Structure 1
Amino acid sequence: MKRKTFQIWMSAVAFMLAVNLSAQGNGTAGINEATQMVTSYFEPATQLIYAIGAVVGLIGGVKVYNKFSSGDPDTSKTAASWFGACIFLIVAATILRSFFL
C-alpha cells in the first residue's frame, strides 16, 4: 500500500514539473529582457556615480583647504587620499562601463 502511494506522489510531482518546464520555454527571451534592462539602467547609474563623486570631491576639497589654512601638519596625507579617491571613482566607473557594455 505504501509503495502505491509513493508512486502516485512521484507521478504527480513529475507531472507538475513537466507542466512547469513546458510553460517556461527555453528562457532566452527572459535573459535577453533582463540584459536589456540592466544595460538601460547603466547610463543613469554612471551619471549618478559621477554626480556623487563631484559632491564628495567638493567636500574633500573644502576639507583639505581648511586643513591647509589652519596649518595642520597632515594636510598632504589628506590631500593625497582625497585625490586618490577621486581618481578611483572615475576609473572604477569607466572600467565598469567598459566591462558591462
Structure 2
Amino acid sequence: MKTKLKRIYTAFTLLIMSINAFAQDGNAGINEATNQVKSYFDTGTNLMYAIGAIVGLVGAIKVYKKWNDGEHDTGKVASSWFGSCIFLVVVATVLKSFFGV
C-alpha cells in the first residue's frame, strides 16, 4: 500500500513540476492575443459593411416585388429591411470607434 502511495505521490510531483516548467508569461500571451484580434478587426468591419450592402440589395428587391404585387404591408417590410441594414452599419461603425482600431 505504501509503495502505491509513493508512486502516486511521485507521479503527482512530476506532473506539477512539468506544468511549472511549461508555464508562460501571462502578459505576453494576452498582448499577443490582443494583437491578433486587432489584425482581424478591420477585415471583420469590412465584412459587416458588405453584409449590410447585400442585405440592403435583397431587401430592396423584396420590397419592390411586394410593391408591384400590390400588397398592403409593403411599408412594414421596407422599414424592417432598411432597419436591419442601418443596424449592421451602425454596429460596425460603433465597434470601430469604440475599440479605436
Aligned-partner Cα distance in 2 for 1:58–1:44:
21
Residue in 2 that maps onto 1:30: 29
Structure 1, residues 47-92: CA drift from partner, whole Å, max 9, x if none?
0111111011011011111211221101011011111111211122
Which residue type is aligned with residue 30 of structure 1?
Answer: G
Aligned residue in 2 for 1:54: 53
What TM-score does the superposition give when structure 2 sets the normalisation length?
0.83
Gaps of 5+ in 1: none
Give the residue type in structure 2 aligned to 1:52.
I
RMSD after superposition: 1.8
Instruction: Name the aligned partner's letter for residue 78 of structure 1.
Output: V
Q: Which consecutive residues of structure 2, in runs of 5 or more, have no partner in the other structure?
A: none
Q: Which amino acid aligns with 2:13?
A: A
Distance (Å, rounded) in 2 between the aligned partners of 1:46 and 1:92: 9
Question: Is the alpha carbon distance of 1:8 and 1:98 closer, same or farther for their aligned partners in structure 2, counting shifts above 3 Å?
Answer: farther
Q: Name whichever of 63-72 and 36-45 sits farther off.
A: 63-72
Q: Does 1:21 align with 2:31?
A: no
Which residue does 2:89 correspond to in 1? 90
C-alpha separation between the residues in 1 aligned to 2:9 and 2:95? 47
- Give 1:100 shift: 4.2
- How many residue pairs are counted as aligned between the two chains? 100
For the residues of structure 2 that align with 1:3 and 1:82, how far apart are their CA atoms?
73
| Distance in 1 between residues matched to 2:17 and 2:98, nearest whole Å | 38
- Report deviation, 1:12: 2.0
TM-score (norm 1): 0.83
How far apart in 1 are the matches of 2:10 and 2:94? 51
